[in-house]
Amino acid sequence: MCAIVVDHILVSESVGVGRLSAHHPAGWPWLLAVRALTMGMATHATFGGGCFWCIEAPFKELAGVESAVSGYAGGDTPDPSYKDVCSGETGHAEVVQVEYDPDVISYGDLLEVFVTVHDPTQLNRQGPDVGSQYRSAIFTHDDDQQDAAEAFIAELDASDAYDDEIVTEVEPLETFYQAEEHHQDYYEKNPSQAYCSMHIPPKLDKVREKFADRLREQPVH
């Protein structure tokens, strides 16, 4: 059970995916776990990977992603503002909550995109953005997502794909607070803004190259 705050209204969300068997063989590949999710009803996934403008845009390139909403999660301060979160004192991370159709794109696909569009080895920062609000984090909506995300990160870490240790946090989502309206669809509204034009196009290029077969037919950007 988690909660979502949209326009200052607290809404409970229960994502009723059948729990994976506790008796599956040890060492089961994470991919089998995430395939189980595609047959369930989990339609939200929440990720923190630096500035939310920078991960919202790449996720919206994907077929099956119905929305990507910027917001805050993982902290203790109720209904924080952007200024509050930027102070580093609320405990929240900037995140993007993705609503997706599991019949079109899997949770495993989203995990792969997530680690493609940010560096999961950077602790409490992403590029020029420094602070715990920019930490690498996966906020899970149910036990199945928790199992799948933990297995994915463990396997990625063991693969030596990165020179440094992966620092991505995986924890259950308690409350998602939607960010202010001017932060939504920020890149679409401000493609020429200096920060956006420098940092977001390279992430879009990576997604378009690596996930060419999973892009939506009508590009957003």
Catalytic residue numbers read 51
Residue 32: is it exposed, middle or buried by C-beta count within 10 angstroms (0-12/13-18/19+)? Answer: middle
Q: Which residues pair with 4 in a beta bridge?
A: 11, 176
Of 131, 123, 112, 115, which is closest to residue 31 (Cα–Cα)? 112
Q: Where are the alpha helices (DSSP H) in 52-99?
A: 52-59, 82-86
Please give the Cα distance from 194 to 125 (Å, whole number).
19
The whole-angstrom separation of Cα 170 and Cα 35 is 19
Residues ≥6 apart with Cβ < 8 Å to 176: 2, 3, 4, 5, 46, 71, 72, 73, 95, 97, 139
